[in-house]
Amino acid sequence: MNTLSDGLQDKSGDDLSAELSTCLERQRQAYFAAPNPDFTQRKQDLLSLKQMVSDNRDEISRAINRDYGNRSVHETLLAEIIVVIDGINFALKHLKRWMKTHHREIDFALYPGAKNRVIPQPLGVVGVIVPWNFPIQLSFTPLIYIFAAGNRAMVKMSENSLHLSRLLKRLAPDYFPAEKLSFFEESGRVGIEFSQLPFDHLLFTGSGATGKAVMASAAKNLTPVTLELGGKSPAVIAEDYPMQTAIERILFAKLFNAGQVCVNVDYVFVPEGRVEAFVD
């Protein structure tokens, strides 16, 4: 029997902390050595990211299927691979404009003769904590904009994505040096240690309860945090809308990815006179 724990190295807390801290320090030193990558470098990083996904599409799909127990390759292609490739193409199209200095208006009555500019600059090293439901989309989509902005990244995958985590750890060095991009698998303690690192920014997607813990850990270092948390998502069926079409679309949303979608339909508003038709 193939178990998820096969090949997982059991590190002590000190060893784990040292490994994460060493990676962060290596990336930060590389950032200090070249703090503002030019357009050519950022474009190359995005193309390498695209190549990494494209070259290994089938292997990535198989790894996700193993982590899920069973997941349609078509769902992986539609919800993850295509989304990432689309995002990279979008960033490549707009990258040069995003990097430009932007002029801003000022109040000349208060500041006569002054000029005001916004100069986009990289932050440094960005941490990404990824959930299991869309592991490629929610790891690589942040990486698109992390690299477009000239940053470096450390990515912590979910404990439920171990086959994919190990695949990405094996593949990444073929496309990026460790001081640009590193992946980490979850062994039960990594997430806590990871969120306590003094990143220049930290991204987290997951539950509200875990989000609070992540933000509390990051606060100790005054690390800015972006949280994408769960919520409630209603569907509203209008009085004059075809019931069959509404039902088909709601059920498609509920069943897609086995219902594990953060903006999935949680409850439905139905006109009082159409409740029985909806239930039927």
Q: Is 228 a catalytic residue?
A: yes
Residues sharing a CB contact under 8 Å with residue 88, sequence separation 6 or more, in sequence order: 46, 47, 49, 50, 144
Is the distance from CB of 145 to CB of 51 less than 8 angstroms?
Answer: no
Of residues 141, 198, 136, 193, the one with CA closest to residue 165: 136
AA identity, residue 77? L
Is the distance from CB of 129 to CB of 154 less than 8 angstroms?
Answer: no
Is the distance from CB of 134 to CB of 79 less than 8 angstroms?
Answer: yes
Active-site annotation holder among 75, 185, 228, 276: 228
Is the distance from CB of 118 to CB of 101 less than 8 angstroms?
Answer: yes
CA distance linking residue 19 with residue 11, whole number of Å: 10
Q: Is 23 a catalytic residue?
A: no
Active-site annotation holder among 159, 262, 272, 276: 262
Which sequence positions are flagged as catalytic? 228, 262
